[in-house]
Amino acid sequence: MRIRSYIAALVVILDTIVAGTLVIVTGFFDFTGGIYDLISIAWSSTIFFAAGIKVTIEGLEHLDKDTSYIFMSNHLSHLDTPAFMAKLPFKIRFFTKKELLNIPIFGQAIYMGKHIIIDRKNTEKAKRSINEAKKRIRKYGFSVLVFPEGTRSKTGKMGDFKKGGFVLAIETGIPIAPIEISGSFKLLPTHTLLIKSGAIHIKVGNPIPVDTFNLEKKQELMDRVRSGIEELGKEDGVSS
């Protein structure tokens, strides 16, 4: 088991270098992000194959593949994002902190992949990031992945929600699709970089329309989404 974890760690590094380089090169002419989507699926699938992780998903019947969504999920591990990229059949982009741009190849690939860069320490720049997200959703038909907690859980339980993703949903009118992910915490907890073999399960709930909410009712929307994620967890026997 330990040997496979080390092999998986090596594969992650090599896979990221190769995939990141391809994204950077193709990004100069991949105007719609379609090539990036294919590369990201291959990247994440390779990691899970090397680590011996099976990712399953249910609830896709609740979604319209021709509609953009703001996917909101609990956040347990660095494995969450590649799991969603591998299994959600949408053109997904996510908010990423600007510090990640400093990582060689990976940072440049994030930029060329048209993800939304956010400066969490600067309120004005964070607002501009939300405006940029709105433009990209309209222009490219992207869906946006948001971890409303803002960071990975250190305990496996959901933390407090941040408001940014909810402001984006209200201002764009794009429905929020609650998601509950389980299994990833024990496969790659916060204190290690070694991935264990196992299973990750993604459960998608019914989308929540936001047309009846405004910024004054933001907290009400946040509570509803939180309840939606918690209910999905209870159905899977996971306590939030």
What domains does the chain contain, in order, with CATH numbers? 2-235 (3.40.1130.10)
pLDDT, residue 154, reads 86
DSSP-H helix ranges across 27-103? 34-51, 80-87
Is the separation of the CB atoms in 141 and 34 below 8 Å?
A: no
pLDDT, residue 129, reads 80
Is the separation of the CB atoms in 155 and 190 below 8 Å?
A: no
pLDDT, residue 236, reads 63
The predicted-structure confidence for 170-198, as pLDDT tens digits, reads as follows 999 999 999 999 999 999 988 888 999 99
Nearest to 43 by CA among 10, 76, 14: 14
Question: Rounded to whole angstroms, how far apart are CA atoms 80 and 71?
Answer: 12
pTM check: above 0.85: yes
Is the separation of the CB atoms in 233 and 180 below 8 Å?
A: yes
Angle between helices 164-172 and 123-140 (to 10 degrees): 40
pLDDT, residue 55, reads 97
Question: Rounded to whole angstroms, how far apart are CA atoms 75 and 158?
Answer: 8
The predicted-structure confidence for 129-171, as pLDDT tens digits, reads as follows 888 888 888 888 899 999 999 888 888 889 999 888 899 899 9
| Low-confidence residues of the chain: pLDDT under 70 | 1, 235-240
SS3 content of the chain, % helix, strand, coil (to 5): 50, 15, 35
